[in-house]
Amino acid sequence: MKQSEYIKPTAQTLTSLAGLYNVSEETMRKWLKKIDMLRKQGDPYTYTPLQVKKIFEKLGEP
């Protein structure tokens, strides 16, 4: 992968992660549940850059 294609992990919400992967929030929730990274529903939560990095590692970069 070229360095210019690398996406730097930054804090993300469920909605913004779904947007990066171009999927619905429902699909993103299912994916995060499978990799044990889903937060409680209704919990206004932002994934930290370290958590986003782990998500990218498990799901592949968007």
The model's pLDDT over 8-43, given as tens digits with 9 standing for 90+, comes to 899 999 999 999 999 999 999 999 999 998 876 666
Expressed as residue numbers, the domain containing 39 is: 3-59
CA-only gyration radius of the chain, Å: 11
Please give the pLDDT value at position 17: 95
Q: Pick from 14, 12, 19, 23: which is nearest to 53 by CA?
A: 12
Please give the pLDDT value at position 54: 94
Residues 38-60, mean pLDDT to the nearest whole number: 85
Q: Categorize the per-residue pLDDT at 7 as very low, low, confident or very high, splitting at 50, 70 and 90.
A: confident
Tokens representing 26? Answer: 């429902």
Number of folded domains that form the chain:
1
Q: What is the pTM of this model?
A: 0.81
Q: Between helices 25-34 and 14-21, what is the axis angle to 10°?
A: 100
